[in-house]
A and B are shown apart, each in its own frame.
Chain A
């Protein structure tokens, strides 16, 4: 059952003109994905691996679409090359709505291992990064989406367990 926060975030995507979303699921993002599938103005094309998703998003952008990728932070271990040589090299705006697994509240120890690398990878790639730790911070999402288009860069929106735990 989607939360109000899931509807708010997808509503912000729609308002920002996002019309193409690809995803690899995460438990924390299940509600977002459910709302996406109900949203007729967005074509949701699930991918099998997140670098494949970056390719889909690049193509959608070339076609005049406005893409977004929804994925888990572990995916950053997969997409470094696609980000550097496709999304960044060709200056493609791409918001990445990311579940930030492995932060406080995490139940799966292994998730902490990639959480330790998440900010380092994003910093190394010089990707504008925003961390939603409290539900109030989601108010920044529309501005981040506009900023992504303005600068034609990938941006990372990290949503952690505290954020999702407190979200209604």
Chain B
């Protein structure tokens, strides 16, 4: 199961919630599968989906699911320490770990070799860290939503992207419709 199939499987669980989605292929695949006003698509800025998600979760009460990638978390590893030390019970960080930089041609990341982001998250002080296979991810996210406990999910999946269009929607339009969902 690759990221696209994982996201497709996840949609019934996440579509009614605020989702912050990582730059590149993840946002493009999510937009193609299930474009929602409650999706905040990152059009640039590698590495900050988890930070945006945490800031959002700390300032309003609705559940927030940040969909990030292994490469992006590796570029902003400090985020796991910030998350651990500023827990938001309404925050779920889903790291889709395909061991590769999917948007740039599936070059391998270090999680494909020795590095475990789940171990890093635990070492940073994150108290609820769940490791899931791709097929288990939907249940893991549903459990995390039910638990009302900040949860880091590291979901292992296969590399690979599907051919979907680039997002051309205006960033301020993405912002405004998302804020309306937050305030609804």
Binding site for B on A (CB under 8 A): 19-20, 43, 45-49, 51-65, 67, 81-82, 84-86, 89-92
Residue of A with least CB distance to B178: A62
B86 at the interface (CB under 8 A from A): yes
B57 CB, nearest partner CB in chain A, Å: 7
- For A89, give its contact among B43, B55, B59, B82 (CB under 8 Å): B43
A107–B53 CA distance with the chains assembled, in angstroms: 39
User: Once the chains bind, are B172 and A55 in contact (CB under 8 Å)?
Assistant: no
Q: Which residues of chain B are within 8 angstroms of A52 by Cβ–Cβ distance?
A: 47-48, 51, 76, 78-79, 82
Pick the most buried of A47, A48, A63: most chain B CB atoms within 10 A of its CB.
A63
B147 CB, nearest partner CB in chain A, Å: 21
Q: Which residues of chain B are within 8 angstroms of A56 by Cβ–Cβ distance?
A: 51-52, 54-55, 82
B60 at the interface (CB under 8 A from A): yes
User: Once the chains bind, are B58 and A60 in contact (CB under 8 Å)?
Assistant: yes
User: Once the chains bind, are A55 and B59 in contact (CB under 8 Å)?
Assistant: no
Residue of A with least CB distance to B53: A59
B183 at the interface (CB under 8 A from A): yes
A62-B51 CB under 8 A given contacts A85-B43, A85-B44:
no
B72 CB, nearest partner CB in chain A, Å: 11
A59-B54 CB under 8 A given contacts A49-B78, A82-B48:
yes
Q: Which residues of chain B are within 8 angstroms of A49 by Cβ–Cβ distance?
A: 76, 78
User: What is the 8 Å Cβ interface bit string for chain B, positions 51-81, against chain A (1 contact, 0 not)?
Assistant: 1111111111000000000000000101101
A39 CB, nearest partner CB in chain B, Å: 16
Residue of A with least CB distance to B56: A59
- For A62, give its contact among B47, B52, B81, B86 (CB under 8 Å): B52
A13 CB, nearest partner CB in chain B, Å: 16
Q: Which residues of chain A are within 8 angstroms of B55 by Cβ–Cβ distance?
A: 20, 45, 55-63, 65, 67
Q: Which residues of chain B are within 8 angstroms of A48 by Cβ–Cβ distance?
A: 78-79, 81-82
B31 at the interface (CB under 8 A from A): no
Residue of B with least CB distance to A56: B55
Scan residues 149-177 of chain B and give those whose CB is less than 8 A from a CB of chain A.
171-172, 174-175
- For B58, give its contact among A46, A63, A81, A84 (CB under 8 Å): A63
User: Once the chains bind, are B51 and A55 in contact (CB under 8 Å)?
Assistant: yes
User: Once the chains bind, are A60 and B171 in contact (CB under 8 Å)?
Assistant: no
B182 at the interface (CB under 8 A from A): yes
Q: Which residues of chain B are within 8 angstroms of A92 by Cβ–Cβ distance?
A: 175
Residue of B with least CB distance to A55: B51
B20 at the interface (CB under 8 A from A): yes
B45 at the interface (CB under 8 A from A): yes
Scan residues 16-68 of chain B and give those whose CB is less than 8 A from a CB of chain A.
20, 40, 42-45, 47-60
Q: Which residues of chain B are within 8 angstroms of A54 by Cβ–Cβ distance?
A: 45, 48, 51
B179 at the interface (CB under 8 A from A): yes
Residue of B with least CB distance to A91: B172
A20-B43 CB under 8 A given contacts A45-B82, A52-B76, A62-B182:
no
